Amino acid sequence: MTLLDKILSHNEKFVANKEFERYKTTKFPNKKVVILSCMDTRLSDLLPVAMNVKHGDAKIIKNAGAVISHPFGSIMRSILLAVYELNADEVMVVGHHNCGMSSLEPDHILTKAVERGIDRKTIETLQYSGVDMDSFLTGFTVVEDSVRHSVELIANHPLIPKDVSIHGLVICPETGALELIINGYAKKSTT
């Protein structure tokens, strides 16, 4: 049985047994918060439990590294949607220690791509046509700096209203301990 088959067969039972009933909520986050974090599997359950974020409490956006690569990309759009359409009035960027994005090396990934059958010419063509592989496939060195950068990017975004608090945190993927990097309330009162 493939993983997909297993998921589909589990799902049939899940729906038939009405197990979904205890997850009833609305699309509006109860705690009026949007959280941007990393897709790391160690955080799947740990992060919400460690932050006391229950089902229905928050809009949670995840990618590799909790990074915003582009001010007009899909992550920023999701944050704007959460703010304007879903009543979120706080944003929390939550990076984590030992993140895979902190050791990302473009050459390493491209070598693996070639090993997996991607033609080197394809990569060269992309580079010649203006794709900057180095910045596309680069992560960050220090997670605290990356969180700070994302918080600044959101806070200074031309479409983010000034009454939204933008916080920055780093979570330990083993213990769930949070470290406050930027307190968005304090920042708001000084500006």
CB 86, min distance to Zn ion, A:
25
Separation between Cα atoms, residue 2 and residue 52, nearest integer Å: 34
Query: In this complex, which beta carbon is closest to Zn ion, that of residue 53 or of residue 160?
Result: 53
In whole angstroms, how large is the CA radius of gyration of the chain? 19
| Amino acid residing at 154 | I
Residue placing its CB nearer to Zn ion in the complex, 38 or 76 = 38
- Cβ closer to Zn ion: 49 or 64? 64
Question: To the nearest whole angstrom, how small is the minimum distance from the Cβ of residue 150 to Zn ion?
Answer: 13
CA distance 2 to 140: 36
d(CA 75, CA 157): 13
Interface characters, 43-82, with Zn ion (x: CB under 5 A): ----------------------------------------
Point out which span in 11-19, 52-60, 94-102, 159-167 binds Zn ion (CB under 5 A). Answer: 94-102
d(CA 10, CA 19): 11
143 scored as a contact of Zn ion (CB under 5 A):
no
Is residue 38 close enough to count as binding Zn ion by CB under 5 A? yes
For Zn ion, the binding residue among 34, 36, 40, 171 (CB under 5 A) is: 40
Measure the CA–CA gap between 166 and 81, rounded to whole angstroms.
Answer: 15
Residue of 36, 88, 94, 99 that binds Zn ion (CB under 5 A)? 99
| 40 carries a ligand binding annotation | yes
Q: Residue 157 and residue 59: Cα distance in Å, rounded?
A: 19
Rank residues 154 and 171 by Cβ distance to Zn ion and give the closer one.
171
Would you say 96 is a known binding-site residue?
yes
- The answer to whether the annotation marks 172 as part of a ligand binding site is no
Nearer to Zn ion, 40 or 90 (CB): 40
Q: CA torsion angle for 165, 169, 173, 177 (degrees, to 10)?
A: -100
Which residues lie near Zn ion (CB under 5 A)?
38, 40, 99
Annotated binding-site positions: 38, 40, 96, 99
